[in-house]
């Protein structure tokens, strides 16, 4: 689901520049699927999928796979357009040290949205 996150983020120079002071690890959980995303100076340095049982992360974003699928649609339905919309619907749990997440909220929202496929018109 988030398999091309590194390419999408690192290929967007403006997004990497916006996050140039971000250095952390976030766990994205979509049902049973987990990805540990390591961010260094705004670029995604690693997206790990193996050996995450005892992994160390700064914060975690946990939601059912179906919620992430709707969020990542080219045109997400109402209530699935933003991470806080998912949280309001009680579909997303944000856990851990929230300071880096909240201090760089626009960056992280754009990182997650970068995985959305481009809408065909």
What are the residue boundaries of the structural domains of the chain, listed by start? 5-113
Around Cβ 49, how many Cβ atoms within 10 Å?
Answer: 11
For Cα atoms 100, 112, 88, give the angle at the middle one, nearest 5 degrees: 80
pLDDT tier, 54 (very low <50, low <70, confident <90, very high otherwise): low
- Count of H helices and E strands in the chain? 6, 5
pTM of the model: 0.88
Question: Selecting from 3.40.50.2300, 3.30.1050.10, 3.20.20.70, 3.40.50.300, what CATH number does the domain 5-113 have?
Answer: 3.30.1050.10
CA 117 to chain centroid: 15
| pLDDT tens digits, 56-114 | 899 999 999 999 999 999 999 999 999 999 999 999 999 999 999 999 999 999 999 99
Q: What is the pLDDT of residue 55?
A: 76
């Amino acid at each position: 689901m988030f398999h091309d996150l590194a390419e999408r983020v690192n290929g967007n120079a403006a997004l990497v520049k916006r996050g140039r002071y971000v250095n952390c690890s976030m766990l994205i959980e979509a049902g049973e699927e987990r990805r540990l995303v390591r961010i260094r100076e705004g670029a995604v340095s690693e997206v790990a999928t193996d050996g995450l049982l005892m992994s160390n992360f700064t914060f975690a974003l946990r939601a059912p796979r179906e919620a992430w699928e709707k969020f990542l649609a080219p045109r997400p339905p109402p209530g699935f357009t933003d991470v806080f919309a998912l949280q309001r619907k009680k579909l997303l749990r944000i856990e851990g040290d929230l300071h880096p997440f909240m201090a760089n909220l626009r960056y992280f929202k754009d990182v997650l949205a970068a995985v959305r496929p481009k809408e065909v018109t």
